[in-house]
Chain A
């Protein structure tokens, strides 16, 4: 592990107003180093998903500081955050969240194509390589609707890696998979983390999945408890 990739300080996130105000994050501090493979643990409602959403620049905190790769992401506008997200952050969701009318390859290369404004040959080649690495070489041009749950999640992992991001945020990536598929996905994540030094932060309820990560971060009542 080398220097910090990102750091959040005194992160507060509240929903609602007045008496209906809910404080989900209560001054949370977190530092993630480059190349870390971390599990984010905690009971439902502890603020795991909210933390991932803020780290993914999809939502702004109510207050606090968030720096990544030396950039202050709290003061950035929507267009800047969108470009930053596209280049430096990958996402893997619990329910794969692929574009249903597109093939596996088209889904994987989306982050690059949307940035370049076209599906370049180099993007297609990288997308194909990623799918091969995920063990989906015979499913490259399949519509994602025809893939199994495990295959869809592997396509989602490939998409998250398409732009070679420094950080991949995974929210319950194995929560919707059987044990065999879950192990397969986690093995792939571990392999990429080891080979490419990509930082992973994986939210999970599964102790066994968490045990495959080198660091366990526990969130409770909006604060880090472990």
Chain B
């Protein structure tokens, strides 16, 4: 059982490490790295599901009987490239946030937002 489910347990741990970074760290770049960890753990989960013991890579050749499952491979292949595209979009948002707030720390951004809100309220009351 330990060997049989080892991959899944490592995947769960990696996923939770990613989730922890996303929740507990305030730095936006670090959050994106955490998301990448999370994403890659899902890739590892799919690919280790596709493996068949004694199988080979799913490229047809004459004297091979057992292949690993090619379907998860096709799904994850496209997911990886989509992941880099969306990560790039997130990074460009970070760049704009840095330009607008002068910081990429979540708490500093929150503080500035609260400040603006409070100022608005004061002006309304006045």
A binds B: no
Show the binding face of B for A, using Cβ within 8 Å. none
